[in-house]
């Protein structure tokens, strides 16, 4: 049973014809998901490799940045503020960025944003070498990079369905998730060692280089490749009307509204949890940056395994069930982390959380890409991301404040309990989302 709330022809129509390195199969010829076939579409392959390169620096940079903040301030709350800065741009600017993702050439958006991010990170490296780094300066850099990361994410999510057929959206999203997980495993592990042995400067410099290299790779996407841009309307409706169109689409689709109801609560506590990982490593496990990186790599290892598994699944009729199953696993993992006073238990908890994140997030992305018209994907994706993350910036601040007042373990136990209860209750009272299909 379809969960569409408006005529199928209107909602399913795409203005960006899907095409890869060879003709895609007709929409009606359903095929089992295939990683190999997905990688045969050259525009997607280049986007995927560019992300692989770019993210290889991001996770090394993340270790260096948060440890630098911790050393500079000695404050758990300050770490929470910085993590909030990584989230805030997507929440505040997301709906507006989405309009431009639908207006502009998406290939050029990806290239330009990588170049800007590379320049900003290179400038930060110079400031650190000059001994002029400050908390305010770091926070400003984080805001700029957060906006850039949001733009890349929205453009990528809108671009992929135009160059990959619907049947291969699960493996496409899984491949993007797997590249991030692989980079997290390697980047956080190496980043922790680099920071411990060499300091923060080299990891930051490498991140700048990775952005520039990604921009070069994206430039090899063939000129005129389908999906690069949405043809502008003959009579542009105006920015405000375009923005409203994306929001109205969300409001008319019940499964998106239900998903947002869950997301605003889960993301609030979830982002608080991740903000406390560095302090948890230092003050609960009594370990250094190398172990902090290792725990991040454990989450990524679980996420990689989850992405490999879910990418092979035909979720046309079961996406909602995977979403709720994965969400409940996240709650269990966080609870386990709250009682983990030893490294082995903490590793098990982080692996469980990683698997759960992949099993939850990939179906969400696939359903949105498959059910939103191509001309609206930038606006709907960005607005949905902003709305579902509306409470996220407050999560790290709340978690940092409560951890300082109470304990880090207590915050994990509270967060895990809330996430589990929210997911279980939602599965019982939200049949539309539970049975959503595409």
CB contact at 8 A, 192 and 328: no
Instruction: Tokens for 243, please give them.
Output: 């923005």
What's the CA gap between 135 and 72, in Å, rounded? 7
What's the CA gap between 336 and 415, in Å, rounded? 11
Instruction: Tokens for 11, please give them.
Output: 């909602």
What's the CA gap between 106 and 374, in Å, rounded? 12
149 φ, ψ to 5°? -65, -40
In which residue ranges of the chain is pLDDT below 50?
1-25, 229-231
- The candidate with the shortest Cα–Cα distance to 374, out of 78, 55, 159, is 159
Give the pLDDT of residue 99. 92
Residue 162 half-sphere exposure toward CB, CA atoms < 13 A: 29
Give the pLDDT of residue 229. 47
Instruction: Tokens for 201, please give them.
Output: 């400067």
Output b/e per residue, 244-280; b: 16+ Cβ within 10 A.
Answer: ebbbebbeebbbbbbbbbbbbbbbbbbbbbbbbbbbb
What's the CA gap between 397 and 79, in Å, rounded? 9
| Cα–Cα separations (whole angstroms), residue 81 to 388, 399, 416 | 20, 10, 22
CB contact at 8 A, 215 and 115: yes
Gyration radius of the chain's alpha carbons = 21
- The candidate with the shortest Cα–Cα distance to 280, out of 68, 107, 428, 76, is 76
| Distance from the Cα of residue 47 to its chain's centroid | 15
pTM of the model: 0.77
Give the pLDDT of residue 2. 32
pLDDT digits 0-9 by tens, 217-272: 999 998 766 555 444 555 557 888 988 999 999 999 999 999 999 998 898 998 88
Give the pLDDT of residue 6. 33
Give the pLDDT of residue 225. 61
- The whole-chain average pLDDT of the chain stands at 84
What's the CA gap between 337 and 335, in Å, rounded? 5
pLDDT digits 0-9 by tens, 369-399: 999 998 899 999 999 988 888 887 788 889 9
- The candidate with the shortest Cα–Cα distance to 87, out of 385, 399, 359, is 385
What's the CA gap between 101 and 377, in Å, rounded? 8
DSSP-assigned states of every residue in 154-222? HHHHHHHHHHS-GGGHHHHHHHHHHHHHHHHHHHHHHHHHHHHHH-SHHHHHHHHHHHHHHHHHHTTSP
Instruction: Tokens for 436, please give them.
Output: 């959503």
- The residues, any chain, with a CB within 8 Å of residue 112's CB and separated by 6 or more, are 215
Instruction: Tokens for 125, please give them.
Output: 């490296």
CA diameter of the chain: 63
- The residues, any chain, with a CB within 8 Å of residue 147's CB and separated by 6 or more, are 89, 90, 93, 97
| Cα–Cα separations (whole angstroms), residue 151 to 102, 113, 126, 141, 330 | 11, 7, 25, 16, 27
What's the CA gap between 178 and 35, in Å, rounded? 11
State the angle between helix axes of 343-371 and 169-198 in degrees (0 to 180), rounded to the nearest 10. Answer: 140
State the angle between helix axes of 377-388 and 343-371 in degrees (0 to 180), rounded to the nearest 10. Answer: 140
Instruction: Tokens for 29, please give them.
Output: 């010829």
Residue 346 half-sphere exposure toward CB, CA atoms < 13 A: 20
Give the pLDDT of residue 201. 77
What's the CA gap between 248 and 6, in Å, rounded? 12
Give the pLDDT of residue 224. 64
Sketch out the chain's domains with CATH numbers: 42-223+233-434 (1.20.1250.20)
């Amino acid at each position: 049973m379809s969960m569409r709330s408006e005529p199928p022809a209107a909602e399913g129509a795409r203005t960006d014809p899907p095409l890869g390195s060879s003709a895609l199969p007709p929409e009606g010829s359903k095929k089992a998901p295939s990683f190999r076939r997905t990688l045969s579409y050259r525009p997607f392959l280049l986007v995927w490799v560019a992300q692989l390169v770019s993210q290889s620096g991001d996770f090394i940079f993340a270790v260096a940045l948060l440890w630098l903040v911790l050393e500079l301030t000695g404050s758990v709350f300050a770490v929470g503020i910085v993590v909030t800065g990584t989230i805030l741009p997507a929440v505040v600017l997301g709906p507006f960025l989405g309009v431009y993702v639908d207006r502009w050439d998406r290939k050029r958006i990806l290239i330009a944003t990588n170049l800007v991010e590379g320049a900003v990170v290179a400038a930060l490296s110079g400031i650190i070498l000059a001994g002029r780094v400050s908390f305010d300066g770091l926070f400003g850099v984080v805001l700029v990079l957060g906006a850039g990361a949001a733009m890349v994410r929205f453009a990528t999510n809108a671009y992929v369905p135009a160059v990959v057929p619907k049947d291969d959206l699960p493996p496409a999203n899984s491949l993007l998730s797997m590249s991030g997980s692989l980079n997290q495993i390697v980047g956080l592990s190496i980043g922790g060692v680099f920071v411990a042995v060499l300091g923060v400067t080299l990891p930051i410099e490498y991140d700048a280089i990775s952005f520039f290299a990604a921009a070069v790779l994206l430039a090899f996407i063939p000129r005129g490749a389908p999906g690069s841009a949405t043809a502008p309307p003959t009579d542009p409706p105006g920015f405000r009307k375009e923005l409203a169109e994306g929001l109205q689409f969300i409001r008319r689709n019940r499964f998106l509204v239900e998903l947002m109801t869950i997301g605003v609560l889960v993301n609030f506590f979830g982002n608080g949890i991740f903000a406390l990982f560095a302090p948890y490593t230092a003050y609960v496990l009594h370990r250094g940056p190398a172990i902090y990186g290792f725990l991040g790599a454990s989450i990524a290892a679980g996420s990689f395994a989850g992405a490999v598994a879910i990418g092979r699944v035909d979720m046309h009729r079961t996406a909602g069930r995977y979403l709720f199953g994965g969400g409940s696993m996240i709650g269990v993992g966080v609870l386990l982390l709250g009682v983990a006073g030893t490294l082995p238990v903490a590793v098990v908890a982080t692996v469980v959380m990683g698997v759960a994140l992949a099993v939850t997030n990939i179906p969400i992305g696939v359903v949105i890409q498959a059910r939103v018209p191509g001309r609206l994907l930038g606006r709907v994706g960005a607005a949905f991301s902003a709305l579902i993350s509306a409470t996220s910036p407050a999560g790290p601040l709340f978690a940092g404040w409560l951890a300082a007042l109470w304990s880090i373990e207590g915050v994990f136990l509270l967060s895990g309990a809330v996430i589990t209860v929210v997911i279980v209750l939602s599965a019982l009272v939200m049949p539309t989302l539970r049975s959503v299909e595409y």
